[in-house]
């Protein structure tokens, strides 16, 4: 099977060809992408209240928005997708509203539900923990932030086994070996796996497939003192 995308030497989402082929390319690269997307729809039903506020951070072409649209509409929630690449935004097909902006500079309103699906690994390493902390602060009580990302591998043989699992899964989807290697090399310096220690302590894992992990991060509970 021929790869759907000519891999750029230096990976970027600000590229017409990357944007054009993104939807097919991401499914070739990550066979669990559809399953994890469905999990977002499920969590949306759990955390989006009536007239709630919802963000899709790093929205690309609108995958998450399309998955949770039914709940957003049914609950009459406000949905905002944020995407910094104009090329990706031009192909956006999710629900309105789309904002073309840097997600780290964006002025968020407090929200009930936000999704960061395969985005943090593209943000500068030094800002990630602070960004996650800010998002958690912005989460309303009862709400949640959901993160799916590539993580740093544990030391030892298990890390090798996890990395090879990713490679094997890409092959199984029919991606040509040369395209897999070119993509890996193209990502150097731009995609850097997340250090799980940068996540808030309340993060709960709901998914793991080798190098890729998903967490739900609820608002940190502040327990009031009961007067006796
Ligand atoms: C792997 S894609 C995300 C996939 C998408 N969430 C989905 O469900 O298919 C990463 C996206 O994050 C966007 N992105 C990266 N850094 C960003 C930033 N600082 N602000 C907003 N979007 C950003 C990229 O342009 C790209 O579209």
pLDDT in tens, 82-138: 999 999 999 999 999 999 999 999 999 999 999 999 999 999 999 999 999 999 999
- CA-nearest residue, atom 13 of ligand 1: 58
pLDDT, tens digit, 9 for 90 and up, residues 141-199: 999 999 999 999 999 999 999 999 999 999 988 889 999 999 999 999 999 999 999 99
pLDDT, tens digit, 9 for 90 and up, residues 44-66: 999 999 999 999 999 999 999 99
Whole-angstrom CA distances from 171 to 8, 30, 165, 211, 224 are: 20, 10, 10, 16, 53
Task: Tell whether ligand 1 has an atom less than 6 A from the beta carbon of residue 104.
Answer: yes
Q: Pick the closest to residue 77 from 61, 65, 60, 59 (CA basis).
A: 65
Q: Which atom of ligand 1 is nearest to the CA of 106?
A: 20
The CA distance from 172 to 110, in Å, is 41
Residue ranges of alpha helices (H) inside the chain are: 16-29, 33-47, 63-74, 86-89, 128-138, 157-172, 177-186
- CA-nearest residue, atom 8 of ligand 1: 63
CA 127 / ligand 1 centre spacing (Å): 16
pLDDT of residue 222: 65
CA 60 / ligand 1 centre spacing (Å): 5
Residue 150 sits at φ, ψ, to 5 deg, of -85, 135
**The model's pTM:** 0.94
pLDDT of residue 45: 98
pLDDT of residue 228: 44
Choosing from 84, 101, 106, 131 the residue with most ligand 1 atoms within 8 A of its CB, the one to mutate for a pocket test is 84
The CA distance from 101 to 124, in Å, is 16
Task: Tell whether ligand 1 has an atom less than 6 A from the beta carbon of residue 41.
Answer: no
Confidence band, pLDDT 50/70/90 cuts, at residue 218: very high
The CA distance from 225 to 227, in Å, is 6
CA 220 / ligand 1 centre spacing (Å): 26
Task: Tell whether ligand 1 has an atom less than 6 A from the beta carbon of residue 33.
Answer: no
Q: Does domain 32-153+192-218 have CATH number 3.40.50.150?
A: yes
Which H/E stretch holds residue 98?
strand 98-100
């Amino acid at each position: 099977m021929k790869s759907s995308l000519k891999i750029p030497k230096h990976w970027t989402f600000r590229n017409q060809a990357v944007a054009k082929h993104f939807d097919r390319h991401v499914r070739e690269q990550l066979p669990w992408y559809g399953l994890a997307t469905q999990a977002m729809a499920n969590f949306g039903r759990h955390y989006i209240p009536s007239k709630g506020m919802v963000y899709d951070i790093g929205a690309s072409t609108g995958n998450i928005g399309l998955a949770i649209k039914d709940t957003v509409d049914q609950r009459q929630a406000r949905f905002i997708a944020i995407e910094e690449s104009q090329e990706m935004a031009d192909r956006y097909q999710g629900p309105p509203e789309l904002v073309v902006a840097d997600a780290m500079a964006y002025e968020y309103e407090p929200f009930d539900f936000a999704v960061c699906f395969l985005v943090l690994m593209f943000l500068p390493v030094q800002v990630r923990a602070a960004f996650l902390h800010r998002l958690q602060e912005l989460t309303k009580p009862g709400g949640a932030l959901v993160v799916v990302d590539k993580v740093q591998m544990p030391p030892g043989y298990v890390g090798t086994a996890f990395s090879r699992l990713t490679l094997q899964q890409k092959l199984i989807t029919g991606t040509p070996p040369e395209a897999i290697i070119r993509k890996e090399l193209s990502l150097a310096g731009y995609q850097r796996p997340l250090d799980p220690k940068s996540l808030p302590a309340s993060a709960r894992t709901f998914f793991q497939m080798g190098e890729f992990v998903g967490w739900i991060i609820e608002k940190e509970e502040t327990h009031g003192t009961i007067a006796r």
